[in-house]
Structures are given as structure tokens and as C-alpha cells.
């Protein structure tokens, strides 16, 4: 789960923007929606979520507004801004390019005629001369 935790931490802003692109929500609702959309594969903890929300708000990608709850008290509801929609589009394209590149690397050498380096050679240069 360590790898998933690190991946989530770096991609929480993108996930938040994707969730808010559909509807405004409060922090707890955003976390539960991320979990629902990922079939509980990603657990969004407060220590990861709220710093991302604050950064997105500072950057103008989301706007927060305090609203009264029906049972009393208040909670902050976040909505994506036009700048946030543009940022989400950029992040989605970056993510697609990145995952496609990783996918190609994981598939291995599927290009016909591509020469693989010989064992013991440095990928960055020619093989050393025998002594």
C-alpha cells in the first residue's frame, strides 16, 4: 500500500478537480467520492486531502464557501472554477501521456527491428573494449 499512498499524494489535486468537475462537495464528500470512484482502492485521508484543497483554493482552481448544515453547524463546500477546469484538462492530458509512456515501457521491446543492448553494455553508450 506504500506505493499507492505515494501515488495518491501526488495526484490528489487531480482527483479533487475531477470530482468537483461533476458537482460541488465538502471535504468529507470529496474523500468518499474518490474512494467510491476507485472501488476503495484509494483512501483519501484528511492529511492528504485538506492540504490539496487549500493549495487548489490558493491557486484559484477551486472556490470554497461556508454553508449551513441542516442539522446545525457549517461546512465548507468547494466548487471548481473555470481556471480549475482548464487545469483539470491539462492534468488529464499529462496523465494520459504519462500512463501511455509507462505502458509502453512495461510492454517491453515490441518494435520490430529494434536492437536491444547486449548484456553488460551501458544503454547510454558503446560497450567497453575488451582488455
In a domain, 122, yes or no: no
Whether residue 84 is predicted with pLDDT greater than 90 in this model: the reply is yes
Which one-letter DSSP state was computed for residue 112? T
Residue 66 domain flag = yes
Average pLDDT of the segment spanning 91-116: 83
The answer to whether position 17 is within a domain reads: yes
Residue 129 lies in a domain: no
- Is-contact 30 54, C-beta < 8 A? no
Domain containing residue 45: 2-97
pTM of the model: 0.76
* pLDDT tens, residue by residue, 19-41: 999 999 999 999 999 999 999 98
Q: How many domains does the chain have?
A: 1
**Does residue 109 sit within a domain?**
no
CATH of residue 82's domain is 1.10.10.10
DSSP per-residue letters across 35-72: HHHTTTSS---HHHHHHHHHHHHHTTSEEEEEEE-TTS
What digits encode the pLDDT tens for the residues 116-129?
A: 556 555 555 555 55
Position 106 in a domain: no
Mean pLDDT of 98-124: 72
Residue 25 lies in a domain: yes
Is 105 within the bounds of a domain? no
Separation CA 76–CA 27 (nearest Å): 7
Amino acid at each position: 500500500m506504500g506505493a499507492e499512498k505515494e501515488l495518491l499524494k501526488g495526484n490528489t489535486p487531480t482527483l479533487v478537480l475531477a470530482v468537483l468537475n461533476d458537482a460541488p462537495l465538502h471535504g468529507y464528500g470529496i474523500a468518499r467520492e474518490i474512494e467510491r470512484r476507485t472501488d476503495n482502492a484509494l483512501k483519501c485521508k484528511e492529511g492528504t486531502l485538506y492540504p490539496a484543497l487549500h493549495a487548489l483554493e490558493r491557486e484559484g482552481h477551486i472556490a470554497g464557501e461556508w454553508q449551513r448544515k441542516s442539522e446545525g453547524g457549517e461546512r465548507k463546500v468547494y466548487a471548481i472554477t473555470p481556471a480549475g477546469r482548464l487545469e483539470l484538462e491539462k492534468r488529464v492530458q499529462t496523465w494520459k501521456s504519462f500512463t501511455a509512456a509507462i505502458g509502453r515501457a512495461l510492454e517491453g521491446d515490441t518494435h520490430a527491428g529494434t536492437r536491444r543492448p547486449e548484456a553488460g553494455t551501458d544503454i547510454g553508450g558503446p560497450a567497453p573494449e575488451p582488455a
